[in-house]
Amino acid sequence: MGKQKKFVEEITPMDEDFAKWYTDIVKKAELTDYSSVKGCMIIRPYGYAIWENIQKVLDQKFKETGHENVYMPMFIPESLLQKEKDHVKGFAPEVAWVTHGGDEELTEKLCVRPTSETLFCEHYAKIIQSYNDLPKKYNQWCSVVRWEKTTRPFLRTTEFLWQEGHTAHATEEEAQKETIDILNIYADFCENVLAMPVVKGQKTEKEKFAGANATYTIESLMHDGKALQSGTSHNFGDNFAKAFNIQYTDKNGELKYVHQTSWGMTTRLIGAIIMVHGDDSGLKLPPKIAPTQVMIVPIALHKEGVTEKALELKDRISKVARVGIDISDKMPGWKFNEYEMKGIPVRLEIGPKDIEKNQVVLVRRDTGKKTFVSIDEIETKVVELLDDIQSSMLNSAREHRDENTYTAATLDEFINIAQNKPGFIKAMWCGDTACEEKLKEVAGVSSRCIPFKQEQISDKCICCGRDAKHMVYWGKAY
RNA sequence: CGGGGCGUAGCGCAGCUGGUAGCGCACUUGGUUCGGGACCAAGGGGUCGGGUGUUCGAGUCACCUCGCCCCGACCA
The string of DSSP codes covering A264-314 is EEETHHHHHHHHHH-BTTB----TTT-S-SEEEEESSTTSTTHHHHHHHHH
- Residue A102 DSSP code: T
Q: What is the pTM of this model?
A: 0.96
A299 touches strand B (CB under 7 A): yes
CA angle in degrees (0–180, nearest 5) for A319-A322-A328? 110
Closest-lying nucleotide for A335 based on CA to C1': B37
What pLDDT score was predicted for residue A188? Answer: 98
A340 touches strand B (CB under 7 A): yes
Q: ipTM score here? A: 0.91
A279 touches strand B (CB under 7 A): no
Distance CA A347, CA A268 (A): 27
Within its chain, how far is the Cα of A4 from the centroid?
Answer: 33
A383 touches strand B (CB under 7 A): no
Q: Which residues of A285-307 are buried (b: 16+ CB within 10 A; e: fewer)?
A: bbbbbbbbbbbbbbbeeeeeebb
A64 touches strand B (CB under 7 A): no
Say how far A150 CA is from B74 C1', in Å. Answer: 9
Q: Which of residues 134-153 of A touch strand B (CB under 7 A)?
A: 146, 148-153
Residue nearest to nucleotide B38 (CA to C1'): A331
What pLDDT score was predicted for residue A15? Answer: 85
Contact A450, A470 (CB under 8 A): yes
Is A105 strand, coil or helix? strand
Q: Which of residues 240-259 of A touch strand B (CB under 7 A)?
A: none
Closest-lying nucleotide for A370 based on CA to C1': B35
What lies within 8 Å, CB to CB, of A461 at 6+ separation is: A428, A429, A430, A432, A435, A467, A468, A469
Say how far A329 CA is from B30 C1', in Å. Answer: 15
Closest-lying nucleotide for A334 based on CA to C1': B37
Q: Which residues pair with A111 in a beta bridge?
A: A76, A97
A336 touches strand B (CB under 7 A): yes
Contact A161, A264 (CB under 8 A): no
Q: Which residues pair with A145 in a beta bridge?
A: A159
Closest-lying nucleotide for A306 based on CA to C1': B34
Strand A405-407 versus strand A370-374 pairing type: unpaired
Closest-lying nucleotide for A91 based on CA to C1': B75
Residue nearest to nucleotide B24 (CA to C1'): A6
What lies within 8 Å, CB to CB, of A238 at 6+ separation is: A172, A257, A258, A259, A260
Closest-lying nucleotide for A23 based on CA to C1': B69
Contact A211, A116 (CB under 8 A): no
Strand B bases near protein CB (under 7 Å) are 1-2, 32-38, 66-76
A281 touches strand B (CB under 7 A): yes
Alpha-helix runs per DSSP H in A154-305: 172-188, 239-244, 268-277
Residue nearest to nucleotide B32 (CA to C1'): A302
What lies within 8 Å, CB to CB, of A143 at 6+ separation is: A159, A160, A161, A162
A406 touches strand B (CB under 7 A): no
Q: Please give chain A's pLDDT, 478 residues, in tens.
A: 233 344 445 788 888 889 888 988 998 899 998 887 888 888 999 999 999 999 999 999 999 999 999 999 999 999 999 999 889 988 888 999 998 888 889 999 999 999 999 999 999 999 999 999 999 999 999 999 999 888 899 999 999 999 999 999 999 999 999 999 999 999 999 999 999 999 999 999 999 998 999 999 999 999 999 999 999 999 999 999 999 999 999 999 999 999 999 999 999 999 999 999 999 999 999 999 999 999 999 999 989 899 999 999 999 999 999 999 999 999 999 999 999 999 999 999 999 999 999 999 999 999 999 999 999 999 999 999 999 999 999 999 999 999 999 999 999 999 999 999 999 999 999 999 999 999 999 999 999 999 999 999 999 999 999 999 999 999 999 9
What pLDDT score was predicted for residue A9? Answer: 52
What lies within 8 Å, CB to CB, of A13 at 6+ separation is: A21, A280
Burial class (CB in 10 A: 0-12, 13-18, 19+), A164: buried
Q: What is the CA radius of gyration of chain A?
A: 25
Say how far A152 CA is from B18 C1', in Å. Answer: 38
Say how far A22 CA is from B27 C1', in Å. Answer: 27
CA end-to-end distance (rounded Å), chain A: 37
What pLDDT score was predicted for residue A35? Answer: 82
